[in-house]
Structure 1
Amino acid sequence: MSTYWNVVKERRSYYAISKKQVTPDERIEEIVGEAVKHVPSPFNSQSARVVVLLGEQHDRLWDLAKAELKKILPADGYQATEEKINGFFRSGYGSILYFEDENVIQGLQQAFPLYSDNFPVWSHQSSGMLQFAVWSALELDGWGASLQHYNPVIDGAVRAEWSLPANWKLIAQMPFGKPVAQPDQKEFAPLAERLKLFK
């Protein structure tokens, strides 16, 4: 089995992560940069935008998330959310925020009106490929990560905290750190129900 498929198989959602550094920060930036550069996008639109938060900036993200969630959750339900964020996400080394530039997408819709409805869908598909590429590369380097979706609850706070453009739409958050426990065994639905071959 090739290294590629080994990485695909081994990439999992790691929730038990620590702040211990696994690779230099420059290596993290290199991984994300290579993925942003080379992952395909519709019409080569390159609409992906990414923010990498390390150290105190990473902690700040999850403190903001807790503050925003506290505003909307009932008091008796907030404690479990706070414990989850502290134990599974803030406990890590860093977070990667994935955005799509809506100005680019709207430009494509105007330039190619026949496909107008498809561009937001294709944008999300491209973002998903980017997330998978980064996630897999982090896995290969020994990091554990998971994918979270606290948007749109945290969107405004994130834009304000890091002075990000209003046209950057937050898609997902990827906290990562050194794995301190293995995820549960993964179960698979029968492949025969999910794959058909005709020839």
Structure 2
Amino acid sequence: MSTFTELLEKRRSIYVLGTESKYSTQEISDRIGEVVKQVPSAFNSQTTRVVVLFDEANHAFWDHIYAVQKDILEGEIWDMMSGVMTGAKNGVGTVLFFEELDAVKKMPTNVVRQEAYKQNNNANAQYAVWLALAEMDLGATLQHFNVGYEQGFDKGTKALFDLPESYEMLAQMPFGSVEQEAGKKEHIETNVQTRVISTLS
């Protein structure tokens, strides 16, 4: 098992994915399920839901995303993002991240804070799953296609997989074997990003 810091460094955005894995689809989905179960959430609200897609379901999802986005994206953005979509089909699978809005509304606070906590809950799950995939030697990226509950942008996805109307899709994470390593990552200075204060002036 990796040390925590090594795992943080290992987790990168990997766009060129393959289908090789030493883990079965059952082992991968079980691991993801256990990780999401242990992720903290505001008021222990447990509002996050994930759907793990493999094989035909994974291909169908990215075909759907491609069909929608080809009428929206143009020029260089389309050239870049269409490659992400087609590349996602070449991987092992995809994790879809949702928030259960009925559960969100039950959090004992106001609507503004519910929205903030919802985003925090889901972000915690996204990062935890990404680290878990990295630990299993699987590369991944975090994508945000067809998100927008109020606008109905995620209705097609929910219809495709017969998911509840109360699910709001916030992100997708295609994953698979690492067929091309990520490039060098630049970091700002640590003392700029992290300040340490122990006394008051």
TM-score by length of 1: 0.89
Specify the code of the residue in structure 2 equivalent to 1:170: M
Residue 45 of structure 1 corresponds to which residue in structure 2? 45
Q: 1 or 2, which has the higher helix percentage?
A: 1
- In 2, distance between residues paired with 1:25 and 1:5? 27
For these two proteins, the number of residue pairs brought into alignment is 193
Residue 102 of structure 1 corresponds to which residue in structure 2? 101
Matched residue SS, 1:165: coil
Specify the code of the residue in structure 2 equivalent to 1:159: K
Residue 188 of structure 2 corresponds to which residue in structure 1? 189
Q: Any stretches of 5+ residues in structure 2 without a counterpart?
A: none
TM-score by length of 2: 0.89
Residue 10 of structure 1 corresponds to which residue in structure 2? 10
Residue 144 of structure 1 corresponds to which residue in structure 2? 139
Superposed CA RMSD: 1.9
Encode CA deviations 1:10-67: one digit per residue, 9 max, x unaligned: 1111111112233111211121111221100110011011100001111111000011
Specify the code of the residue in structure 2 equivalent to 1:129: N
Q: Give the 3 Å change call, closer, same or farther, for CA 46–86 of structure 1 in structure 2.
A: same
Q: Give the 3 Å change call, closer, same or farther, for CA 120–77 of structure 1 in structure 2.
A: closer
> Does the aligned pair in 2 maintain the 1:11–1:136 contact within 8 Å?
yes
Alignment map for 1:32-181 (pairs within 5 Å): 32-74=32-74, 78=78, 81-87=81-87, 89-108=88-107, 112-113=108-109, 115-152=110-147, 155-181=154-180
Q: Give the 3 Å change call, closer, same or farther, for CA 156–198 of structure 1 in structure 2.
A: same
Specify the code of the residue in structure 2 equivalent to 1:71: D
User: Could you tell me how far 1:74 is from its partner in structure 2?
Assistant: 4.9
- In 2, distance between residues paired with 1:126 and 1:191? 26
Structure 1 runs of 4+ aligned residues shifted over 6 Å read none
Q: Give the 3 Å change call, closer, same or farther, for CA 84–32 of structure 1 in structure 2.
A: closer
- Percent of paired sites with the same residue: 31
User: Could you tell me how far 1:80 is from its partner in structure 2?
Assistant: 5.2
